[in-house]
Amino acid sequence: MRNRQSGMTFLGLLILVVVVGTWVYAGIRIVPMYLNYMKIANSFEKVKDEFDSNPGTTEAMIRNSIYRYFDVEMVDEKAFSYKDVKVRKSGGTFVVTAAYEDTRPFVSNIYFLTSFDKTIEIQAR
C-alpha cells in the first residue's frame, strides 16, 4: 500500500510567511500616511461646511480655522503643516489646496513615496 502524504513542507511554509510578512510590514508603513491625509481632508471638509454659508469670509478666517482643525485632528506636522496650505481667491470663491508628498522608509534605502492633493472651494460673498 502506498502512503499519500498531504500538506505543506517547511520550505513552502517559510516562503508563505515571508511573503505575507512583507505585505503586512508594507501596510504598517503605508497606513499612517493615508490616515494623516484623511485627517487633512476631513479638516478641509469641516472648514468648507463652516464657511460656505458665512458671508464676509476672509483668507485670514479660513487660515485660522484650518489651524484649529489641524490642531484638533492632530495632523502630523512633519508631513504637512497648516502653513503649507495654499489659499487664493479666484473670482467669487476661495480655492484652498493641500498638495504634498510624503515618504516613509521601507527597508534599507527603499522608501515609499505617496503624493496627495486635496482642493476645496469656498464661496466668497
Whether 57 contacts 88, CB under 8 Å: no
What's this model's pTM, rounded to 2 decimal places?
A: 0.84
Distance CA 79, CA 111 (A): 15
- Tens digit of pLDDT for each residue in 24-62? 999 999 999 999 999 999 999 999 999 887 778 889 999
Distance CA 11, CA 118 (A): 46
Q: Give pLDDT, residue 1.
A: 63
Unique residue bearing C-alpha cell 520550505: 11
Task: Give per-residue burial for 78-116: e unless 16+ CB within 10 Å, then b.
Answer: ebbebeebebeeeeeebebbbebebebeeeeeeeeeeeb
Look at residue 105 and tell me whether its pLDDT is greater than 80. yes
CA proximity to 57, closest of 68, 67, 47: 47
Q: Give pLDDT, residue 101.
A: 96
What is residue 120's three-state secondary structure? strand
In this prediction, residues 93-108 reach a mean pLDDT of 94
